[in-house]
Amino acid sequence: MNKIVGYRKMLGFTQEQMAKEFKISKQAYWSKENGQTQFSDKEKQLFKNMLIPLFPNITIDAIFFD
C-alpha cells in the first residue's frame, strides 16, 4: 500500500469520497492515487489540509515525496 492510500484510510475516506473533496471523478482520483497521473499543487495542498488535524506538522513533501 502506498502512502497516499494509507493517509486516505487514516482519514476514513473512500476513493469516491476523496474524489468528491477534490471535485474530480472517482476514476481520476484512482489514477492519481495509483501514480498514473500526478496530483496538482492545489490537490496536494487540499490533501495536506485534510491531514493537519491528525498530523499538525505534516508537509506536502512528507505526504507525496518522502
Burial of 63 (0-12, 13-18, 19+ CB in 10 A): middle
> What is the predicted pLDDT for the residue at 1?
59
- CATH number for the domain whose boundaries are 3-64: 1.10.260
Would you say residue 66 has pLDDT above 90? Answer: no
CA 32 – CA 52 distance, rounded (Å): 21
Domain boundaries defined on the chain: 3-64
Q: Mean pLDDT, the chain, as a whole number?
A: 96
pLDDT tens track for 17-36: 999 999 999 999 999 999 99
* Cell matching residue 45: 495542498
**Quick count: other Cβ atoms within 10 Å of Cβ 20?**
14
What is the pTM assigned to this prediction?
Answer: 0.91
